[in-house]
Structures are given as structure tokens and as C-alpha cells.
Amino acid sequence: MPFFSSRSITYSPAYTIVPTYECFNRCTYCNFRTDPGNDSWMSLSTAKNIFKRLQNQNVCEILILSGEVHPNSSRREKWFNLIYDLCELALSMGFLPHTNAGHLSFEEMQKLKKVNVSMGLMLEQITPYLLQTVHKHAPSKNPELRLQQLQWAGELKIPFTTGLLLGIGETEQDSWDTLTAISQLHQNYQHIQEVILQPHSPGTQQSFDAEPFNPHQLPEVIAKAREILPEDIKIQIPPNLVKDKQWLLACIEAGARDLGGISPIDEVNPDYPHIQENELREMLHPRGWDLVPRLPVYPQFDGWLSGDLEIGVKRWREEFGILLFPN
Ligand code: SF4
């Protein structure tokens, strides 16, 4: 896109909806989940009211972020259909859906591709060691399942976002191995659009008793990730988890170029409110960085979309061009 330059830092004007907080996994660092059966699921009419309110507010991406219902549960189909219907509704009301609903089957991904411009799943860390610790009661965090899902995304030509969670008991080498695995998958399928580097940031609901990932180490990790990952994969950092302005700027100098979805609440880290657009712009501008909105799908993947997804993306590309170049 002509309006992006080498000094552009992107973000996605987004809103997160949560079909359900219930999750059969129990990652010990989780600040999101409730026990199965303890959460009423979002209804389509509630979602419709939210979407109506968001229209004409320049919100482009609807991030559908869900806890997981067990693949063998009799409620799995109902859960999946709700996610599909929420995506379809968001799309029909002019938004661009991006779903991250944890581990999905090939068939589920194939169906969701029809109503999502891109999808996501954090790889987190590929070391199996974490299955004995933070993921001891989280079967869908098995790294083999996650790698398989990233491969399926490539086979299905789904533009994909993944990432690492840093500071959950991994070694430095584990992180480099995880980045290498992402890089290899991308070389086979060319489908990874961005990699999130998310520092563990303790919240009030988690049982995992560990220090936050040291934000001072993040620029170093970003620089190494930049060496390992192919150039066409963008590195994303969540600015609300790197609160200090100097360290945020250091992360950008080290190679981070995207700040992810900026919405009223960070559902995964509810104790860390998002920094809003104007504040970010004020931080970046004096150092010569421009903050520019982007879509949840990167331009090189537009040719993978068809039908309503293609029409919606085309409309938003024009809209963002107008926002960036007002008369
Ligand atoms: S981190 Fe995700 S998968 Fe793990 S318990 Fe929380 S919602 Fe479930």
C-alpha cells in the first residue's frame, strides 16, 4: 500500500467479542477462563447490538476470541456453530472477522475460512517440557497439535497470525526453536502474516506464580526474532504489556512494526488496559514513527480471499486510504 513507509508502525482498529469464557484447558497463567458450564454464551442478538453500536466508529476488525469446548463434548458443534454465525454476522454488518478459538480440526478451519479474512493461534512455545508445568492441564497446548494447526492453515491458504508467550518457564533456546519452527512453516506455505511476542504479565486471576517477563529483555528477543523470521513476517508487540515508553520505543528500534488490535479491553490481559491510539501516536511521533491503521489481513493475501471477504477487504482498503489522505 502506498501510504506505508519504513517509518510506519501499524495497528488494527479492533473490537473483541468473546462467544464464551469457558475453557476445558487450565493453563496456570490464564486470566480469561471460567469452568465449563459456568458461563452463558454470547447470543447473536447481543452481538448484533454491539456491532450496530460500532458501525461508523472506524472499527474494522472483529476479533472473535473464545475459550475452548472439548473436541469430544456433545456441545462442541453448538459452540462451533455460534462462532461461525458470529463471524458471518460481523461480516454482513461491514466488519472483517479474525477468529482465534484455540485448537480446531481441519474441517472446522476449512469452514471458518469462508467467514474470516485471517485467523490466529498462538504457538506459545514448542518445548514439550511445558506440558509438565504450566500446560499440565491444558491438552490443547500440546505443541504438536499447534504446529499441525499452523500447517493446516498453510494448506488451506488462511492468512495466519501466531506468536510466542515469553516468560512461562521456557529457556532462551526454546524461544529460538519456536521462531525457527514458525519460519520453516512459512517457507513451505507463505501464510504467516505476523508473529506476536507477548511477555508474560501476571494478572489477578492466574495461579502461575512467576515474575513478569522482563520488558528490558524484549528488544533483544525482537532483534533475534528479526534475524530468524523471514522479512515478510511482521513482528507485533502488545503495547499495554510494555508500559514504559522508552522500552516500547526500544522494541520498535529493535524491529517490532505492529501493535496489534487496539480495542477498549484486552480480554486476555484484563489487568492491563490498552493504550489508546492518540497516546500511542504522541509517543511515536517525536521519534519519527507514524502510527497507521491496517486491516486484519495483510495486502499480500488479498488474492486468497473471495466473495464477501474480498468485497469487504476492498472497501476497507479504500476507507483507510481516505482516512490517511483526507481532502
Ligand atoms: S489460556 Fe486459553 S487455552 Fe489456556 S485456559 Fe486460558 S482460555 Fe483456555
19 lines ligand 1 (CB under 6 A): no
Question: Is the residue at 247 inside a domain?
Answer: yes
Identify the pLDDT of residue 323. Answer: 63
Identify the band that residue 322 occupies on the pLDDT scale cut at 50, 70 and 90.
Answer: low
Query: What's this model's pTM, rounded to 2 decimal places?
Result: 0.95
- H-helix or E-strand spanning residue 290: strand 290-293
Question: Is the residue at 246 inside a domain?
Answer: yes
Nearest CA to ligand 1 atom 1: 30
Dump pLDDT digits (tens) for 138-179.
999 999 999 999 999 999 999 999 999 999 999 999 999 999
Dump pLDDT digits (tens) for 125-134.
999 999 999 9
Question: Is the residue at 44 inside a domain?
Answer: yes
Identify the pLDDT of residue 2. Answer: 40
Identify the band that residue 54 occupies on the pLDDT scale cut at 50, 70 and 90.
Answer: very high
Range of the domain at 287: 8-320
Q: How many domains, the chain? A: 1
Question: Is the residue at 325 inside a domain?
Answer: no
Question: Is the residue at 327 inside a domain?
Answer: no
Question: Is the residue at 3 inside a domain?
Answer: no
CB of 60 closer than 8 Å to CB of 95: yes
Comparing 272 with 257, the larger pLDDT belongs to 257
26 lines ligand 1 (CB under 6 A): yes
CATH number of residue 139's parent domain: 3.20.20.70
Q: What's the CA-to-centroid distance between 132 and ligand 1, angstroms?
A: 16
Question: Is the residue at 2 inside a domain?
Answer: no
Residue with cell 497439535: 145
Q: What's the CA-to-centroid distance between 32 and ligand 1, angstroms?
A: 7
102 lines ligand 1 (CB under 6 A): yes
Query: In the predicted model, is pLDDT for residue 204 greater than 90?
Result: no
User: What is the phi/psi pair of residue 54, to 5°?
Assistant: -85, -15
Query: In the predicted model, is pLDDT for residue 243 greater than 80?
Result: no
Question: Is the residue at 236 inside a domain?
Answer: yes
| DSSP string computed for 150-197 | HHHHHHTT--EEEEEEESSS--HHHHHHHHHHHHHHHHHH--EEEEEE
67 lines ligand 1 (CB under 6 A): yes
Q: Indicate the annotated binding residues for [4Fe-4S] cluster.
A: 23, 27, 30
Report CA-CA distances (Å) from 28 to 8, 89, 131. 36, 33, 11
138 lines ligand 1 (CB under 6 A): yes
